Chains A and B, each alone.
Chain A
């Protein structure tokens, strides 16, 4: 009878250990999701299934970030790429990612499964080249026909972090890079 206490303790302890380890990346992403959907990057919350590109002024003068921006947007020093972020909910249906012709410029758009912090797909110079294109992002269990001319990216999760990076050559290049980054867009798969 007495040793059952050790069994109960040991069982609960092992289960808690495994569960916390498994959920650890997911707990970090709860913070990130909130930063996107609740606080945003300085212009208010970023609605689900929409992309937001950091303002040119913030890139040019990063030591004076807008007070209204989430801390996650102003922490971490990156003076190489303009960052575009968004949070997908594919439960409402598939989304189409459009990317413009980047004409050889480095860029990448990563699709991250927030439950595991795994980047299950990339669009960008390395993964798909720099030509314009449309990519169908579908959630698990999506059944439909991929429209002609689109490539399908199957997500293992309905919840997806989208993180785009467009290279900025120098300060004189910010507006050109911003113009391209803003053309990275999401639209629902038209019905």
Chain B
């Protein structure tokens, strides 16, 4: 969720609140017309719906180390407020948790925007790759959520990428614009500008579904 969007939503909230307070406390009601009651009611109602869906999305989102996900997407029985909140952070079709979990981020673990001008490492500790009964992947997208052209035609790293472990069993993924010398096997090519990352785990394991599994943060190294 970009900062600009956040400010925009906050602005709508402030305008709606200002208008309601002014109407109820500081307006000479004898000058009102029914027409403006209805028209302004519609507009303010619309604004409040957008603001509340976003606020609820922030409450219900699970954030850790810059990664954002939501549990319970697309599950039958979700109420209307939860469905609207889900649509804010995951617009479009979604997947139920037992089928797959998606995390995304546009920031590193320290909160800085992911940007191909810098180099990043994402380290899974020994035995800490995402538990699953199907597959996992870490996929690169540019700022508009499109694939990123690169010299080795690699668009994601995954359990199929032949990732090389460190001697202690941990696995480092090098997320950067230029190839890391001697570590090309674990390179996820980044664009030169801002980017986002998707971590997907299909048929996620029990520790993901019970929310004890923590996705490691992306760490800026240079």
- Enumerate chain A interface residues (CB-CB to B < 8 A): 2-3, 5-6, 8-22, 24-25, 28, 32, 61-63, 72, 74-80, 106, 108, 110, 112, 116-120, 122, 124-126, 161, 163, 167, 169-170
Contact = CB atoms under 8 A, between A and B. Distances in A.
Contacts of A62: 147, 155
Contacts of B38: 8-9, 12
A21 B44 CA distance: 13
Interface string B138-163: 01110011111100010110101000
Complex A-B, nearest 7 residue pairs according to Cβ-Cβ distance, in ascending order: A16-B45, A12-B41, A20-B49, A2-B29, A8-B37, A13-B41, A5-B32
Chief secondary structure at chain B's binding surface: mixed
B145 A5 contact: no
Nearest to A2: B29
A83 B143 CA distance: 22
A79 B137 CA distance: 8
Interface in B24-48: 24, 29-30, 32, 34, 37-38, 40-46, 48
A165 B78 CA distance: 24
A19 B48 CA distance: 11
Contacts of B41: 8-13, 15-16
A5 B24 CA distance: 10
Contact of B74 (A24, A117, A126): A117
Interface centre among B45, B86, B141, B202 (most CB of A within 10 A): B45
Interface in B87-115: 87, 91-96, 98-99
A13 B48 contact: yes
Interface of B: 20, 23-24, 29-30, 32, 34, 37-38, 40-46, 48-50, 52-53, 74-76, 78, 80-81, 83-84, 86-87, 91-96, 98-99, 133-135, 137, 139-141, 144-149, 153, 155-156, 158, 160, 198, 200, 202-203
A161 B155 CA distance: 27
B30 to A, nearest CB: 6
Contacts of B144: 75
Given A21-B81, A116-B78, 12 more contacts: A8-B34, A12-B41, A13-B48, A15-B41, A21-B49, A32-B92, A63-B147, A78-B139, A80-B200, A80-B202, A106-B135, A117-B94
A108 B37 contact: no
B99 A116 contact: no
A131 B135 CA distance: 20
A56 B84 CA distance: 35
Contact of A22 (B80, B135, B155): B80
A117 B73 CA distance: 9
B155 A117 contact: no
A107 to B, nearest CB: 10
A33 B156 CA distance: 28
B195 to A, nearest CB: 10
A61 B147 CA distance: 10
B198 to A, nearest CB: 6
Contacts of B98: 126
